[in-house]
Amino acid sequence: MDGKVLDVHEKPTAGKWLTLSMQHMFAMFGATILVPQLVGLSPAIALLTSGIATIIFIIVTRFQVPAYLGSSFAFIIPIQIATVSGGVGSAMIGSMFVALVYAIVSLIIWKTGYEWIMKILPPIVVAPVIMVIGLALAPTAVGMASTIQVEGETVYSLLHFSAALVTLISAIICIMFFRGVVSLMPILIGIIVGYIYSSFIGILDFTAVKEAKWFAFPEMLIPGVDYEFVVTPTLLAVMVPIAIVTISEHIGHQLVLGRIVDRDYIQNPGLNRSLLGDGIGTLISGLVGGPPKTTYGENIGVLAITRVYSVYVILGAAVFAIIFSFLGKVMAMIATIPTAVLGGISILLFGIIASSGLRMFVDHNIDFGKQRNLVIASVILVIGIGGATVKFSETFSIEGMALAAIVGVLLNLLLPGKDEQKLTDVKD
């Protein structure tokens, strides 16, 4: 891309380094802490592991790919299901096996090339699965925004719903009426405005913030210490198939990022290396109690706007994330964010996720006049959003998004009339 300010291997001056890195940290901050809030994990450990995973990713990709790794939204429902069935430790074990899938796919790509995975994951499969991620979470977002728990019962609250609406409207204003970096941080800004409004209407409790220490070690979950390392077929069936979605997302991000910085990251350092870096980051995160990781589009957007492609700026953001994770009062403040505020921002965020799948249909010119495309997309959407389940036994079942992803891949491979269309970068 013409007009770059700093190339991938160039270092900024100390003052600019500080501000540019903080900018990247705040761009990913809102989304990265939202995922653990929704699934019952620690926001501090999510921040810590995002920084560690990013550093690992940059090392594995030989300091060539300026990408930031944050919490993955694709695993929200699988983590919730795994936690209900076997405790939060089950979700962490599942995350580790997802990382193993990344490693295996990386090894195969290293030995055989990447063309085969592009054929297995065409847009007609990936797009509806992405839509399922957002739409399946819609009831959760609305419930968080408009209801509260009173004596064990769920009741509607107009007061809390007003906080959700203020949050939602603030985020929409950032997207629609601002340009530059502000437009890339609607989640963070929406949460801040919603939080301030919540303090005015009296639904905040600052007791935990007052009692919190300035420095606090993030709460970790270690296998064999905090939970037993037990692997079940259902756990694998719930978590592992989601790798189909996240690998597709990873490929898409590498293509877009490569176009921005004028490099071919699929070839060099290679899709095998970037997938391996993503997988190792997810593995380390799972080992200490953090959510699975993925490269963040928000930070790619910051790169495009600032034209600062320096990998060292991304490393600085990772260091800041690690430092913030140890600030006890900051983490306690995050824990006081009302559920309604998180629900308000989730309405927008989950809708954007679903809409990005719809956009993929448009960008890749998917022809729904062809019965094959209509069948694949329809089946994936209904199975995924409807929460269909295939029970093989009392201890082994595949359901929801995982089942939808598997069925989508199988239909694409088995139905006649397959196009040679692949998941590729779309030119403006």
102 or 236: which leads in pLDDT: 102
pLDDT digits (tens, 9 = 90+) for 150-173: 877 888 889 999 999 999 999 899
Per-residue pLDDT band for 134 (boundaries 50, 70, 90) equals confident
Whether the pLDDT of residue 316 is over 70: the answer is: yes
- The per-residue pLDDT for 174 is 86
400: left (phi over 0), alpha (psi -120 to 50) or beta: left
Whether the pLDDT of residue 428 is over 70: the answer is: no
Q: Which two tokens stand for residue 216?
A: 């606090």
- The per-residue pLDDT for 206 is 83
- Mean pLDDT in residue range 265-269: 90
pLDDT digits (tens, 9 = 90+) for 343-401: 898 898 888 888 888 888 988 888 998 999 999 999 999 999 998 888 877 667 788 88
Whether the pLDDT of residue 137 is over 60: the answer is: yes
Domain-wise residue ranges, the chain: 14-414
- The per-residue pLDDT for 2 is 53
- The per-residue pLDDT for 116 is 87
- The per-residue pLDDT for 144 is 86
Q: Which region among 75-84, 229-238, 417-426 has the lowest average model confidence (pLDDT)? A: 417-426
Q: Tell me what percent of the residues of the chain surpass a pLDDT of 90.
A: 34
Whether the pLDDT of residue 426 is over 50: the answer is: no
31 or 102: which leads in pLDDT: 102
pLDDT digits (tens, 9 = 90+) for 222-246: 988 888 888 888 888 888 888 888 8
- The per-residue pLDDT for 133 is 83
Tokens 């559920």 -> residue: 339
77: left (phi over 0), alpha (psi -120 to 50) or beta: alpha
Residue 131 to residues 34, 122, 424, Cα–Cα distance (Å): 19, 15, 18
Can you give the chain as a three-state secondary structure string? CCCCCECCCCCCCHHHHHHHHHHHHHHHHHHHHHHHHHHCCCHHHHHHHHHHHHHHHHHHCCCCCCCCEEECHHHHHHHHHHHHHHCHHHHHHHHHHHHHHHHHHHHHHHHHCCHHHHHHCCHHHHHHHHHHHHHHCHHHHHHHHHEEEECCEEEECHHHHHHHHHHHHHHHHHHHHCCHHHHHCHHHHHHHHHHHHHHHHCCCCCHHHHHCCCECCCCCCCECCCECCCCCHHHHHHHHHHHHHHHHHHHHHHHHHHHHHCCCCHHHHHHHHHHHHHHHHHHHHHHHCCCCEEECHHHHHHHHHHCECCHHHHHHHHHHHHHHHCEHHHHHHHHCCCHHHHHHHHHHHHHHHHHHHHHHHHHCCCCCCCHHHHHHHHHHHHHHHHCCEEECCCCCEEEHHHHHHHHHHHHHHHCCCCCCCCCCCCCC
Per-residue pLDDT band for 19 (boundaries 50, 70, 90) equals confident
- The per-residue pLDDT for 1 is 45
Per-residue pLDDT band for 92 (boundaries 50, 70, 90) equals very high
Q: Tell me what percent of the residues of the chain surpass a pLDDT of 70.
A: 96
Whether the pLDDT of residue 111 is over 50: the answer is: yes
Question: Is pTM beyond 0.85 here?
Answer: no
94 or 209: which leads in pLDDT: 94
Whether the pLDDT of residue 98 is over 90: the answer is: yes
